[in-house]
Amino acid sequence: MMDWTDPHCRFFHRLLTRHARLYTEMVTTGALLHGDVPRHLRFNAQEHPLALQLGGSEPFELARCAQLGAQWGYDEINLNCGCPSERVQRGAFGACLMAEPALVADGVKAMLDVVGIPVTVKHRIGIDKTESYAFVRDFVGTVSQAGCQVFIVHARNAWLHGLSPKDNRNIPPLRYALVHQLKKDFPHLTICINGGITTGAQITEELQAVDGVMVGREAYHNPWWLASWDTAFFGVVPVPLNHCAIHTREQVEEKMCDYMAAQAAAHGTPWSAIARHMLGLRNGLPGARKWRQVWSDHRLKNLPPHEVMALAHARSMAVAAELV
């Protein structure tokens, strides 16, 4: 989810669900140790519960970055052992770390030694053409001995050679049964499943076999789905931000316009940098395409966001009227 789940995206998603845990895009240890820490770690207080996802392999560096994450107020540190991109491989982290479970265990222990919040691992079920269940079983077993109690498992192999990151999300086959077997073999661990889950029915089914479900791209492209999660999966009546009831897409959009205006005043952030994350909000509704076109039109960048919203609704309603 690099370049996707930034603070603006997460603020938007938190308007829709108050209880699902949100994850940052992956931040490398080098970026934190040698770059602009506030730029990488700043988040909105409303985003909790929130996990910081780290990319790295050197235990000392991971420990220092975990400390920074804890100091900035994150609720969890998540080590990425699943990203298959060549750029990540050159840095010797991501999915290639699955071939070095002892190194991952050292990194986890180093982080747990310096923070009081959970340290979790996100990984694949295998790398390249290694399809033996024993591979992922032994990886989880080794890393859990270092103290990791939560594993988020993308139920595909990561092919480190010959496939792009995009292809790695689609071509290696999904094998949910291996994730289910992990839960059976490690009943004391929290095992969460990820990959190819696009409906509430799938989530409900998976929760019969594992402890949690992570949803990535489907949640991004069809965000209104998230508005049903608090009731469906957490058994609670949604508690909106700022005690202001949100029942419709329009109310979410209004809140986002307020947020855009505040970000422009505080940081000079253009509304287009924020609006891109909510373009799926009206998916399936009449006039949704025209609505997206307005919010994607950079020629309107000098208009206040509330005026853009009014224009978007006027144009989408005109299309909807034609369909009646």
* Burial environment of residue 208 by CB neighbours within 10 A (0 to 12, 13 to 18, 19 or more): exposed
Whether residue 192 lies in the annotated active site: no
Averaged over 158-172, what is the pLDDT? 74
pLDDT band at 1 (very low <50, low <70, confident <90, very high): low
- Pairing between strand 76-81 and 190-194? unpaired
β-bridge partners, 79: 54, 121
Three-class secondary structure of residue 125 per DSSP: strand
Amino acid at position 230, single letter = D
- pLDDT > 90: percent of the chain: 81
Q: How much is the pLDDT for 320?
A: 65
What's the pLDDT tens digit per position in 18-76? 999 999 999 999 999 999 999 999 999 999 999 999 999 999 999 999 999 999 999 99
* Burial environment of residue 95 by CB neighbours within 10 A (0 to 12, 13 to 18, 19 or more): buried
User: Higher pLDDT residue, 266 or 160?
Assistant: 266
Amino acid at position 84, single letter = P
Angle between helices 133-144 and 101-112 (to 10 degrees): 30
User: 7-240 has which CATH code?
Assistant: 3.20.20.70
**Closest by CA position to 25, among listed 48, 54, 66:** 54
Helices (H) and strands (E) in the chain, counts: 16, 8
Instruction: List the domain boundaries for the chain.
Output: 7-240, 248-323
* Burial environment of residue 188 by CB neighbours within 10 A (0 to 12, 13 to 18, 19 or more): exposed
Taking residue 71's Cβ as centre, other Cβ atoms within 10 Å add up to 11
Cα separation of 284 and 288, whole Å? 7
Q: How much is the pLDDT for 95?
A: 82
What's the pLDDT tens digit per position in 72-130? 999 999 999 988 765 554 556 778 899 999 999 999 999 999 999 999 999 999 998 88
Mean pLDDT of the chain: 92
- Pairing between strand 150-158 and 119-127? parallel
Please check whether residue 226 is in contact with residue 15, taking contact to mean a CB–CB distance below 8 angstroms.
no
pLDDT band at 131 (very low <50, low <70, confident <90, very high): confident
Q: Is the pLDDT of residue 292 over 90?
A: yes
Q: Which of 65, 81, 83, 96 is catalytic?
A: 83
Q: How much is the pLDDT for 230?
A: 95
Q: Is the pLDDT of residue 241 over 80?
A: no
**Closest by CA position to 292, among listed 322, 313, 264, 262:** 313
Please check whether residue 76 is in contact with residue 21, taking contact to mean a CB–CB distance below 8 angstroms.
yes
Global pTM value: 0.92
Locate tokens 């991109």: which residue?
A: 85
Q: Which fold has domain 248-323?
A: Four Helix Bundle (Hemerythrin (Met), subunit A) (1.20.120)
What's the pLDDT tens digit per position in 244-259? 556 799 999 999 999 9
Please check whether residue 136 is in contact with residue 101, taking contact to mean a CB–CB distance below 8 angstroms.
no
Amino acid at position 114, single letter = V
DSSP 236: S
pLDDT band at 157 (very low <50, low <70, confident <90, very high): very high
Amino acid at position 128, single letter = D
CA angle centred on 220, ends 1 and 9, rounded to 5°: 75
Q: How much is the pLDDT for 236?
A: 85
β-bridge partners, 154: 124, 194
